[in-house]
Amino acid sequence: MIEILKIGINNTAKIEDIIKKNYLENNAIEEVEKIVRKIISKVKSQGDNALLEFTTKYDGVNLKPDEILVKPEEFEIARKKIDKDLLEIIKEAVGRIKRYHMHQKENSWFTTEEKGIILGQIVNPVERVGLYVPGGTAAYPSTLMMSVIPAKIAGVKEIAVVNPPDRNGDINPYVLITAKELDISEIYKIGGAQAIAALAFGTKTVKKVNKIVGPGNTYVTLAKKNVFGMVDIDMMAGPSEILIWADEKADARYIACDLLSQAEHDREATSILITDSESLAIRVMAEIKNQQEDMVRKDIVEASLTKQGKIIIAEDEKIIIDFINRFAPEHLELQVENPWQKLSEIKNAGSIFLGAYSPEPLGDYWAGPNHIIPTSRGARSFSPLTVSTFLKKSSIICYDRERLKRDGKKIASLARLEGLDAHARSIDVRNEE
């Protein structure tokens, strides 16, 4: 069951203990990383054969080489299986996510601040990207939307999707039909570290990519870490997190629901309430006990809350704000009076939800902002997935003869200061003409 604890000025050690529970810093991760490296090495050297071997081992599916890539007829079969009303909802969600991400478009620019000098920046999309969509215990067409839409808006020409198959060797029909709505046809029935390796190095069936994005389990995250440099990645996204700041007037039912909504993601998911109200803490605890009894994923919820769940009673607001910014949550809900007034105090958070009627699932499915967000304190330095994730930039420099002559001696002096005589000569030779 979820743990209740109190923190104050004099027991900051408890705060440190909670904050340091970063799964990427856990000693057990080292053993997982050894396995991940072996998987990557085998896929790199053996290609499709290794992919098929690991798909059998980890997904329990025996695929043939020509079954790795989803065939066109599988999209049509999926269309016959889905609920048409749900398809309309998916289409509306796609529209909302597109509208939000259109605001993130970037343009090339040039400036002529002085006569004879043109400077600027050219913005180009990454040419080919790989998108990881989790599978396993659930299907995530929403993650497909969140990764494909900003990539399309950025102008990415080639998009490859990897998604673990079910026990029958199929991709969830709603994932396939969402892909069809987004004009995506290149989907591979592979998951885990082996899928990341295939995208990074390529196989006979899977063409290598320039960048890999998307959330996954520990194996996926560590695989992304280990192929970084060969390809770019978006972030080190791990198990989901929610941190709720609530006051005495907050509705305990709402808070319990929101904590449980994250706990059902994964046994490693983190759900934390922080409040200065002991009364609210007790009410939320009672609501959690009551609500989780009839949950479909009850076992996962109980494991998550027991391992990572916390209800924290803080001595004052200053401690709460300090905890939030040091924890840097993936999802932060402000269920407090006048949440807009508190917003300026929040420096580190992935997505921030203001008020009682802005629950975290709004961000998962509907409102428009991306739900692929840094976890494990990543919000201290990383941002959610955006259109910019799929862009790269080139600097433009153009001087004419007179401007180079004017500045040449200064440039050559800086080069010689660093002991780079050939750099200086590159400038001098032009000014000697």
Active site residues per annotation: 330-331
CA dist., res. 398 & res. 116, Å (int): 8
Cα-based distances in Å from 426 to 369, 396, 408:
48, 19, 10
Q: Which two tokens stand for residue 308?
A: 């990572």
CA dist., res. 47 & res. 359, Å (int): 43
List the one residue out of 355, 315, 311 whose CA is nearest residue 334.
355
Beta strands in 197-259 (DSSP E): 211-213, 232-233, 241-246
- Residues 321, 327, 329, 335, Cα dihedral to 10°: -30
Task: Tell me the β-bridge partners of 187.
Answer: 161
The answer to whether 363 and 351 are in contact (CB under 8 A) is: yes
* C-alpha of 104 from chain center: 17
The answer to whether 212 and 228 are in contact (CB under 8 A) is: no
CA dist., res. 306 & res. 268, Å (int): 10
Query: β-strand 117-125 against 109-114: which pairing, if any?
Result: antiparallel
CA dist., res. 51 & res. 58, Å (int): 10
Residue by residue, DSSP assigns 126-167 as -SEEEEE---TTS--HHHHHHHHHHHHHHT-SEEEEE----T
Q: How many CB atoms are closer than 10 A to CB 253?
A: 13
CA dist., res. 187 & res. 130, Å (int): 10
Non-local CB neighbours of 197 within 8 Å, separated by 6+ positions = 39, 40, 43, 44, 223, 227
Q: Which two tokens stand for residue 254?
A: 């709402």
The answer to whether 314 and 275 are in contact (CB under 8 A) is: yes
Q: How many CB atoms are closer than 10 A to CB 14?
A: 14
